């Protein structure tokens, strides 16, 4: 099982009026079963594009992805996605949101009572059993993201794809969520691909950090093995030399080797999406295309 | 349907009854009750003054008092007509009983009452027609709106036709509909009168479009992340529409339905007037043709009734929306 998720030489072109625009160029990566891999890179470098190709929401122009020996060419619940903005259906309770996924995936293999237990078990895993009959608008941002994770886990996916899952949360909530995720990983040992642009988060959670070069034609710059022992504790790690060394390496990649010359946006950019107009026409268009697809 | 506590105009009364800070509640009452009442009073005054200035061939334009009296007269006529009807059937029953007593083999026959339709009857006919036309239109418009909202190709195909048909006045459709209904709806013993079908189809053709367009816009505006969730879960088409598309599009759909119902009611009155099919429109036209000294007052009663029913229909739609809407906190007005 050394090549559970095999990404081989994927490239993607987006059509623009000036001809095709190559956003990703021959990116290859092999991920082992049970491995936690983070993708890190500057805004607009194509991290989300990679994740969308893994999810099957986008098709690579060249190259391909195989999961557990089978080619990936459409979305499916074996590659559950945790979206950045939770993407819960606002008209369903936490329970019903997870139920929608469970019904869809296990309708032939689980009875009604079994399904209910499985939904509750997953909500318990993310510490949301107390609020499972609340609707998303009654939950805080962190709680919504917990339900999003429960929904993804409940599909019993082969790979869990996380698109900046904690990017929209405040620092304290983010730390709680990271601890929860480590706890879940200890129990379930899922294969995870996570996008982040938080260096601390990447070092704390990952087995490997994949650092991407800046676009256009983005690809993998460096890969860093994080062989820190588990369980990891953020407080004790703060004084750990290896931990600080890894952090320093990621920071040096991002801010020395791949230093980004950003035109100063007219208005302070809040996140990647808002920053798009400042990145010039082509990158902005790619971003839009990427999100639409 | 709408809980009492939600009715903002009732709240000061409730609080006053509970004895919560009376002076504040009285001020709130003045705002919610006195101001609208003052507006209505000003309108009535203006109406009364203006009416006195206008002299028509049927006498002075009716003021609020004349209209009020005619309103009462119309209700009284309705009650008299019902008494008449009851008496008619009673006479038949008596006669049949007498004949059967003489001749036991006699098969009794009841002749239907054929009195003239009263104002109330006309209101009921109009309400039935508008409901039928609106329901038929919604049954067509919502599925069509969902289909063209989901598919860019279908949208492009249908859009020119919709945009072309949308602004057509009911009066333009009416002759065509009348002819088509006469040609197609032929039956010795029709279940519903032809005039009903004609008005209903005209109403339907005119009130279809706001629901189609709004539903399509609502459906096309489904959050892309939710669409991605649906794709990852591989939801079937029907499940996708039911669990994701419909709830997302609900507010827009209801905005369309409310506009449609308003148009349906407006169109119906015009259609009834022109087609001489039973209903409030025909009542107005008959009074106009009648030309008695009461006619203008009676037409004015109809005008106010039409307005009140239109308003109530809109409130009814709002109540239905708040009943089926998932977002109870949404401010519906």
Cβ atoms of A147 and A86 within 8 Å: the answer is yes
A187-234 pLDDT tens trace = 888 999 999 989 999 999 999 999 998 878 888 988 999 988 888 988
The number of helix segments (H) and strand segments (E) in chain B equals 13, 2
Q: Where are the domains of chain A?
A: 75-206, 259-293
3-state SS class at B56: strand
State the complex-level ipTM.
Answer: 0.81
Q: How confident is the model at residue B9 (pLDDT cuts 50, 70, 90)?
A: low
Dist CA A74 CA B115 (whole Å): 70
Dist CA B277 CA B203 (whole Å): 13
Does residue A261 carry a pLDDT above 70?
A: no
Residue A220's H or E segment, with its range, is strand A220-225
Instruction: Say which CATH topology domain A75-206 has.
Output: Rossmann fold (3.40.50)
Dist CA A191 CA A213 (whole Å): 24
Task: Please tell me what DSSP assigns to residue A79.
Answer: E
B192-241 pLDDT tens trace = 888 888 889 999 999 999 999 999 999 999 999 999 999 999 999 999 99
Does residue B34 carry a pLDDT above 70?
A: yes
Q: Which among B224, B229, B247 has the least Cβ separation from residue A91?
A: B247
Residue B28 has a pLDDT of: 79
Task: Please tell me what DSSP assigns to residue A218.
Answer: B
Residue A134 has a pLDDT of: 93
For residues B88-112, average pLDDT: 85
Contacts of B251 in chain A (CB under 8 A): none
A161-182 pLDDT tens trace = 999 999 888 888 889 889 989 9
In the beta sheet, which residues pair with residue A65? A7
Chain-chain contact of A101 with B233 (C-beta, under 8 angstroms): yes
The number of helix segments (H) and strand segments (E) in chain A equals 10, 10
Does residue A282 carry a pLDDT above 60?
A: no
Q: Which of B311, B301, B302, B298 is nearest to B265 (CA)?
A: B311
Residue with the bigger pLDDT between A39 and A267: it is A39
Chain-chain contact of A292 with B329 (C-beta, under 8 angstroms): no
Residue B331 has a pLDDT of: 64
3-state SS class at A33: coil
The span from the first CA to the last CA of chain A, in angstroms, equals 31
Q: Which of B42, B207, B185 is nearest to B131 (CA)?
A: B207
What are A155's two structure tokens?
């599909």
Phi, psi of A64 (to 5 degrees): -160, 175
Chain-chain contact of B232 with A85 (C-beta, under 8 angstroms): no
Residue A82 distance to chain B (closest CA, Å)? 9
Residue A80's H or E segment, with its range, is strand A79-82
What Rg, from alpha-carbon coordinates, does chain B have?
26
Residue of B nearest to A83 (CA): B225
Residue A280 distance to chain B (closest CA, Å)? 24
Residue with the bigger pLDDT between B69 and B329: it is B69
Chain-chain contact of B229 with A105 (C-beta, under 8 angstroms): no
Chain-chain contact of A76 with B326 (C-beta, under 8 angstroms): no
Contacts of A162 in chain B (CB under 8 A): none
Chain-chain contact of A91 with B326 (C-beta, under 8 angstroms): yes
Dist CA B193 CA B185 (whole Å): 10
Does residue B257 carry a pLDDT above 80?
A: yes
B142-177 pLDDT tens trace = 999 999 999 999 999 999 999 998 888 878 888 899
Chain-wide mean pLDDT for chain B? 87
List % helix, strand, coil for chain B (3-state, nearest 5): 80, 0, 20
Chain-chain contact of B327 with A90 (C-beta, under 8 angstroms): yes
Residue A276 has a pLDDT of: 42
Q: Does B35 touch chain A (CB under 8 A)?
A: no
Q: How confident is the model at residue B102 (pLDDT cuts 50, 70, 90)?
A: confident
Q: Does B234 touch chain A (CB under 8 A)?
A: yes
Q: How confident is the model at residue A160 (pLDDT cuts 50, 70, 90)?
A: very high
Chain-wide mean pLDDT for chain A? 85
> Which residue is associated with the tokens 């594009």?
A49
3-state SS class at A192: strand
Chain-chain contact of A77 with B233 (C-beta, under 8 angstroms): yes
Q: Does B327 touch chain A (CB under 8 A)?
A: yes
Residues 6+ apart with CB under 8 A from B176: none
> Which residue is associated with the tokens 């939904």?
A119
Q: Does A100 touch chain B (CB under 8 A)?
A: yes
Q: Does B326 touch chain A (CB under 8 A)?
A: yes
Q: Which among B225, B231, B329 has the least Cβ separation from residue A75?
A: B231
Q: Does A101 touch chain B (CB under 8 A)?
A: yes
Residue A19 has a pLDDT of: 87
């Amino acid at each position: 099982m050394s090549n559970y998720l095999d990404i081989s030489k994927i490239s993607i072109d987006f059509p623009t009026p000036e001809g095709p625009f190559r956003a990703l160029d021959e990116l290859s990566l092999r991920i082992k079963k049970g491995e936690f891999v983070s993708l890190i890179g500057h805004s607009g470098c194509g991290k989300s594009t990679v994740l969308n190709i893994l999810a099957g929401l986008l098709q690579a122009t060249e190259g391909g992805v195989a999961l557990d020996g089978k080619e990936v060419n459409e979305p499916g619940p074996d590659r559950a996605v945790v979206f950045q903005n939770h993407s819960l259906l606002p008209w369903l309770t936490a329970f019903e949101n997870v139920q929608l996924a469970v019904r869809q995936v296990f309708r032939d293999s689980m009875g009604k009572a079994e399904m209910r237990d499985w939904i509750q078990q997953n909500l318990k895993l993310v510490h949301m059993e107390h609020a499972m009959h609340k609707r998303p608008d009654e939950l805080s941002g962190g709680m919504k993201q917990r339900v999003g994770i429960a929904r993804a886990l409940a599909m019993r996916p082969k790979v869990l794809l996380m698109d900046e899952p904690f990017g929209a949360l405040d620092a304290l909530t983010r730390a709680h969520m990271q601890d929860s995720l480590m706890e879940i990983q200890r129990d379930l040992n899922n294969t995870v691909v996570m996008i982040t642009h938080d260096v601390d988060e990447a070092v704390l959670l990952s087995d490997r950090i994949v650092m991407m070069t800046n676009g256009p034609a983005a690809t993998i710059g460096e890969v860093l093995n994080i062989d820190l022992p588990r369980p990891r504790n953020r407080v004790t790690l703060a004084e750990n030399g290896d931990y600080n060394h890894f952090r320093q390496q990621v920071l040096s990649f991002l801010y020395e080797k791949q230093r980004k010359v950003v035109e100063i946006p007219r208005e302070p950019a809040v996140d990647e999406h808002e920053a798009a107009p400042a990145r010039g026409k082509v990158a902005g268009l790619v971003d839009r295309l990427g999100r639409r697809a | 349907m709408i809980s009492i506590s939600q009715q903002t105009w009732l709240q000061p009364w409730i609080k006053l009854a509970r004895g919560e800070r009376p002076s504040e509640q009285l001020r709130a009452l003045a705002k919610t009750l006195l101001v609208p009442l003052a507006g209505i009073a000003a309108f009535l005054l203006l109406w009364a003054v203006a009416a006195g200035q206008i002299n028509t061939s049927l006498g002075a334009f009716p003021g609020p008092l004349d209209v009020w009296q005619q309103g009462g007269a119309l209700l009284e006529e309705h009650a008299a007509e019902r008494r008449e009807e009851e008496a008619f059937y009673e006479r038949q029953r008596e006669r049949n009983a007498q004949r059967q007593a003489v001749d036991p083999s006699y098969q009794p026959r009841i002749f239907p009452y054929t009195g003239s339709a009263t104002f109330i009857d006309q209101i009921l006919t109009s309400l039935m027609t508008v409901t039928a036309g609106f329901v038929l239109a919604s049954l067509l418009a919502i599925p069509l709106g969902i289909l063209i909202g989901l598919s860019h190709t279908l949208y492009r195909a249908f859009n020119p036709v919709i945009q072309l048909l949308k602004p057509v006045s009911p009066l333009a459709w009416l002759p065509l509909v009348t002819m088509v209904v006469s040609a197609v709806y032929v039956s010795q013993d029709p279940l519903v009168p032809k005039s009903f079908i004609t008005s209903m189809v005209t109403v339907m053709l005119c009130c279809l479009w706001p629901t189609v367009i709004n539903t399509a816009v609502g459906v096309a505006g489904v959050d892309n992340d939710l669409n991605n969730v649906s794709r990852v879960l591989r939801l079937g088409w029907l499940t996708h529409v039911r669990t994701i598309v419909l709830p997302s599009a609900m507010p827009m759909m209801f905005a369309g339905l409310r506009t449609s119902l308003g148009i349906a009611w407006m169109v119906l009155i015009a259609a009834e007037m022109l087609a001489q099919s039973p209903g409030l429109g025909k009542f107005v036209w008959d009074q106009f043709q009648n030309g008695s000294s009461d006619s203008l007052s009676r037409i004015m009663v109809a005008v106010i009734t039409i307005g009140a029913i239109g308003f109530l229909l809109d409130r009814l739609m709002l109540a239905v929306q708040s009943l089926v809407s998932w977002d109870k906190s949404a401010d519906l007005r």
